[in-house]
Chain A
Amino acid sequence: MFNLRKLALLGLLPLALAGCRQDMHDQPRFKPLAQSDFYADLRSARTPVEGTVARGQLHEDTYFYSGKIGSSAGDFMPFPVTEDVLARGRERFNIYCAPCHSRVGDGNGFIPSRGFPRKPPSYHSERLRRAPLGYFFDVITNGFGIMPDYASQIPPRDRWCIIAYIRALQLSQGATMADVPSGQKVPSEAPQFEEPGSGATLPVVAPKSANPQPEEPK
Chain B
Amino acid sequence: MQIFHRSTNTISRATIYGAVFVVAALFWAAANIQRSPYVTYAGVARPQPVPFSHQHHVAGLGIDCRYCHTSVETSSFAGIPPTKTCMNCHSQIWTNAALLEPVRESYRSGKSLVWTRVNDLPDFVYFNHSIHINKGVGCNTCHGPVDRMPLMYNYASLQMEWCLDCHRAPDKYLRPRDQVFNMRYEPPASDKPVRLDGKDYTDQLALGADLIQKYKVRNPMDITTCSTCHR
Contact partner of B123 among A24, A41, A152, A202, CB < 8 A? A24
Chain B contact surface mostly: loop
Does B183 reach chain A (CB closer than 8 Å)?
Answer: yes
For residue B122, which residues in chain A have a CB less than 8 angstroms away from its CB? Answer: 24-26
Are the C-beta atoms of A95 and B184 separated by less than 8 Å? no
- B5-13, B14-22, B65-73, B204-212: which one contacts chain A? B65-73
Bound Cα distance from A32 to B77, whole angstroms = 7
For residue B193, which residues in chain A have a CB less than 8 angstroms away from its CB? Answer: 207
Given contacts A41-B112, A114-B93, contact A195 B61 (CB under 8 A): no
Minimal Cβ-Cβ distance residue in A for B114: A35
Contact partner of A201 among B58, B59, B67, B181, CB < 8 A? B181
Does A76 reach chain B (CB closer than 8 Å)?
Answer: no
Bound Cα distance from A72 to B111, whole angstroms = 37
For residue A112, which residues in chain B have a CB less than 8 angstroms away from its CB? Answer: 92
Instruction: Output the least CB separation between B77 and chain A (Å).
Output: 4
For residue A114, which residues in chain B have a CB less than 8 angstroms away from its CB? Answer: 61, 93
Given contacts A26-B123, A33-B80, contact A195 B184 (CB under 8 A): yes
Interface size classification for chain B: 35 or more
For residue A99, which residues in chain B have a CB less than 8 angstroms away from its CB? Answer: 61-63, 67
B108-153: which residues lie under 8 A (CB-CB) from chain A?
111-112, 114, 122-124, 147
Does B190 reach chain A (CB closer than 8 Å)?
Answer: no
For residue A198, which residues in chain B have a CB less than 8 angstroms away from its CB? Answer: 58-59, 62, 147, 182-184
For residue A152, which residues in chain B have a CB less than 8 angstroms away from its CB? Answer: 82, 84
For residue A202, which residues in chain B have a CB less than 8 angstroms away from its CB? Answer: 178
For residue B36, which residues in chain A have a CB less than 8 angstroms away from its CB? Answer: none
Minimal Cβ-Cβ distance residue in B for A114: B93
Bound Cα distance from A29 to B62, whole angstroms = 36
Are the C-beta atoms of A110 and B87 separated by less than 8 Å? no
Of A41, A95, A112, A211, the most chain B CB neighbours within 10 A belong to A95
Are the C-beta atoms of A25 and B182 separated by less than 8 Å? no
For residue B79, which residues in chain A have a CB less than 8 angstroms away from its CB? Answer: 32
Does A66 reach chain B (CB closer than 8 Å)?
Answer: no
Bound Cα distance from A153 to B80, whole angstroms = 12
Are the C-beta atoms of A201 and B123 separated by less than 8 Å? no
Contact partner of A111 among B61, B82, B183, CB < 8 A? B61
Bound Cα distance from A41 to B109, whole angstroms = 11
For residue B147, which residues in chain A have a CB less than 8 angstroms away from its CB? Answer: 198
Does B179 reach chain A (CB closer than 8 Å)?
Answer: yes
Contact partner of B65 among A24, A26, A200, CB < 8 A? A200
Given contacts A148-B88, A207-B195, contact A199 B62 (CB under 8 A): yes
For residue B182, which residues in chain A have a CB less than 8 angstroms away from its CB? Answer: 197-198, 200-201
Bound Cα distance from A59 to B195, whole angstroms = 42
Given contacts A99-B61, A201-B179, contact A111 B93 (CB under 8 A): yes
Q: Mark B88-115, 1 if CB is under 8 A from A, else 0.
A: 1101111000000000000000011010
Does A43 reach chain B (CB closer than 8 Å)?
Answer: yes
Given contacts A24-B123, A111-B93, A117-B92, contact A42 B67 (CB under 8 A): no
29 contacts between A and B (CB under 8 A): A25-B124, A26-B123, A31-B123, A33-B77, A33-B80, A42-B114, A94-B64, A95-B64, A99-B61, A99-B67, A111-B61, A111-B89, A114-B93, A115-B93, A146-B92, A148-B87, A152-B82, A153-B67, A197-B62, A198-B58, A198-B183, A199-B61, A199-B62, A199-B64, A200-B182, A200-B183, A201-B178, A201-B179, A207-B200
Interface residues of B (CB under 8 A from A): 58-59, 61-67, 70, 77, 79-80, 82, 84-85, 87-89, 91-94, 111-112, 114, 122-124, 147, 178-179, 181-184, 193, 195, 200
